[in-house]
């Protein structure tokens, strides 16, 4: 199928709790301070399945899995600020001789929705990055219609995953299963909120594994990881971030995309396997950022087309051809060379780029992998130490932004990834607006202030503290605030500083 036919769907995959029918399990009320989700789930066995409202049927079937998972699949609603044309003169042009490229635009709010899966009793939720990307506000609705505002703990565009947090305890959650043990032909359930239809369950089978469909190519640094589980369980817009579970009620994937000519389900859906999901969630929980271990090689699938382009036989029909090895990389240090063909990692056969990427994506910088490869027809082994983008083995922790307040307003330093993406030097992001004058002027949550024009001229804003200092000096004066939204849309407004 042509890659253009693949439509990035809003698909759901429910993180399913493992063997949850533990009849006598009691909830442990002590605080959970685990740094990974295996510990968090093991330390908080929620006895929600013993509720008298239903009983688990004999044997494993669709009903039992659906009853276990549905309460832990949530509706995720995102608010994104956009702009809309407004008639009238440009006050910047009239007052300061400055012409905005987006003259006379006023901020509006657009909403999108998807799904998410609760993975701990204290309110951690996994969803897709594209469900909450550029959102100024994220709302969570449980199956019982209880609603919360969520914090974004971290995101990973390269796998299209995000970790959210709501402040609640004793929540139903689903336990991670082992996607490696999933077999083609195995029955699975997809749980989510397609077309805003809450708590919808569909059934199908695993129709393929380790699929690469080329939908995440815009990820930063070309580090996208696509090794999807393919299923024919029906998923549609609104299902993104929901659960794909086995009949034991265990989470085996987060549904992310569909193959479609129309934008709705056409027979195939794709889920990020939990072998990747759990590692990404653990990284975001502990460090706030994904720790990406890299082998440092340029790779492509072995194929007849590759042999034809190389004008030589490769002697094998499947595997991962090394087209180049980066200097100073773990692969170079391990002795890998251009022309080698990787056929296994850590004892697992890697007959495609997707599978190799999946195996390496489970690791962190500093971890070692055993690489089985072919060179001139001979089978060899090498031990490679993975490194990060900087070429070392250091763990990268998320920078904690400076947060500052002023007269009903709260600002934080612009996040580094947003600053890099927008190609700006600095700025302060509005995170709360409780000042009525600023609200009426057009200030919105998520707006990034990059400069301020006052009576004495224009000042560039480097961060939150810089902005607060300027506002303190501008009390009683009218200023013009300039900046842009995370989607790159520029905007400005006038306000008197109280």
Mean pLDDT on 274-278:
96
Spatial contact of 255 and 268, defined as CB atoms under 8 Å apart: no
Same domain, 322 and 252: no
- 21 found inside a domain: no
Mean pLDDT on 106-110:
63
- 49 found inside a domain: no
Overall number of domains in the chain: 3
Spatial contact of 126 and 15, defined as CB atoms under 8 Å apart: yes
Same domain, 303 and 361: yes
CATH code of 419's domain: 2.30.42.10
- Look at residue 109 and tell me whether its pLDDT is greater than 70: no
Confidence band, pLDDT 50/70/90 cuts, at residue 184: very high
Query: pTM for this one?
Result: 0.74
Confidence band, pLDDT 50/70/90 cuts, at residue 82: low
- 421 found inside a domain: yes
Same domain, 363 and 435: no
Spatial contact of 127 and 162, defined as CB atoms under 8 Å apart: yes
Same domain, 369 and 416: no
Same domain, 325 and 346: yes
Q: Which of 268, 287, 306 is the last residue of a domain?
A: 287
- 105 found inside a domain: no
Confidence band, pLDDT 50/70/90 cuts, at residue 137: confident
Residue 356 C-alpha from the chain's centroid: 21
- 245 found inside a domain: yes
- 97 found inside a domain: no
- 417 found inside a domain: yes
pLDDT the model gives residue 452? 95
Distance CA 342, CA 358 (A): 14
- Look at residue 88 and tell me whether its pLDDT is greater than 80: no
- Look at residue 424 and tell me whether its pLDDT is greater than 80: yes
Same domain, 283 and 205: yes
Same domain, 280 and 301: no
pLDDT the model gives residue 261? 76
Between vectors from CA 168 to CA 166 and to CA 171, what angle results, nearest 5°?
105
Mean pLDDT on 71-93:
66
Positions annotated as catalytic residues are: 130, 160, 240
Same domain, 380 and 447: no
Same domain, 209 and 241: yes
Q: Which of 353, 386, 419 is the last residue of a domain?
A: 386
Distance CA 444, CA 438 (A): 9
Distance CA 390, CA 231 (A): 37
- 379 found inside a domain: yes
pLDDT tens column, 212-238: 888 776 545 567 888 999 999 999 999
Same domain, 310 and 238: no
Same domain, 192 and 279: yes
Domain, as residue range, for 382 = 297-386
Strand-pairing partners, residue 383, are: 370
Same domain, 304 and 373: yes
Nearest to 190 by CA among 117, 244, 260: 244
Q: Phi and psi at residue 287, in whole multiples of 5°? A: -115, -15
CATH code of 230's domain: 2.40.10.10
């Amino acid at each position: 199928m042509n890659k253009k036919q693949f439509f990035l769907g809003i698909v759901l995959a429910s993180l399913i709790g493992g063997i949850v029918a533990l009849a006598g399990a009691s909830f442990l009320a002590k605080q959970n301070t685990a740094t990974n989700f295996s510990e968090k789930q093991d330390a908080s066995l929620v006895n929600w399945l013993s509720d008298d409202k239903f009983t688990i049927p004999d044997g494993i079937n669709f009903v039992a899995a659906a009853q276990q998972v549905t309460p832990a699949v949530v509706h995720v609603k995102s608010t994104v600020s956009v702009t809309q044309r407004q008639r009238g003169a440009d006050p910047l042009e009239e007052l300061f001789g400055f012409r905005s490229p987006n003259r006379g635009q006023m901020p509006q709010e657009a909403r999108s929705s998807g799904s998410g899966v609760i993975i701990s009793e204290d309110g951690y939720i996994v969803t897709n990055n594209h469900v909450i990307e550029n959102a100024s506000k994220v709302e969570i609705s449980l199956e019982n219609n209880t609603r919360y505002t969520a914090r974004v703990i971290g995101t990973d565009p390269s796998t299209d995953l995000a970790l959210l947090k709501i402040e609640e305890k004793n929540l139903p959650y689903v336990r991670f299963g082992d996607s490696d043990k999933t077999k083609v032909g195995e029955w699975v359930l997809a749980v989510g909120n397609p077309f805003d239809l809450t708590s919808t369950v569909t059934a199908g089978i695993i129709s393929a594994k380790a699929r690469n469909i080329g939908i995440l190519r815009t990820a930063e640094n070309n580090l996208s990881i696509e090794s999807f589980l393919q299923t024919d369980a029906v998923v549609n817009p609104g299902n993104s971030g929901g659960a794909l579970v086995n009949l034991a009620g265990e989470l085996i994937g987060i549904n992310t995309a569909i193959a479609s000519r129309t934008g709705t389900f056409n027979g195939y859906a794709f889920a990020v396997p939990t072998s990747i999901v759990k590692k990404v969630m653990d990284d975001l929980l502990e460090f706030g950022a994904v720790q990406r271990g890299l082998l440092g090689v340029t790779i492509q699938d072995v194929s007849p087309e590759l042999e034809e382009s190389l004008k030589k036989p490769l002697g094998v029909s499947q595997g991962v051809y090394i087209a180049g090895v980066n200097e100073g990389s773990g692969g170079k240090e391990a002795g890998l060379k251009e022309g080698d063909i990787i056929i296994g990692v850590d004892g697992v056969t890697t007959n495609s780029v997707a599978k190799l990427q999946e195996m390496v994506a489970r690791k962190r910088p500093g971890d070692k992998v055993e690489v089985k490869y072919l060179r001139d027809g001979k089978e060899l082994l090498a031990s490679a130490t993975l490194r990060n983008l900087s070429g070392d083995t250091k763990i990268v922790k998320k920078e904690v932004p400076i947060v500052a307040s002023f007269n009903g307003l709260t600002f934080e330093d612009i996040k580094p990834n947003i600053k890099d993406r927008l190609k700006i030097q600095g700025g302060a992001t509005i995170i709360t607006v409780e000042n009525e004058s600023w609200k009426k002027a057009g200030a919105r949550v998520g707006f990034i202030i990059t400069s301020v024009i006052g009576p004495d001229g224009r000042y560039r804003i480097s961060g939150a503290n810089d902005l607060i200092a300027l506002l303190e000096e501008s009390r009683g004066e009218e200023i013009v605030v300039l900046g842009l939204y995370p989607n790159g849309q520029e905007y400005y407004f006038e306000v008197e500083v109280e």
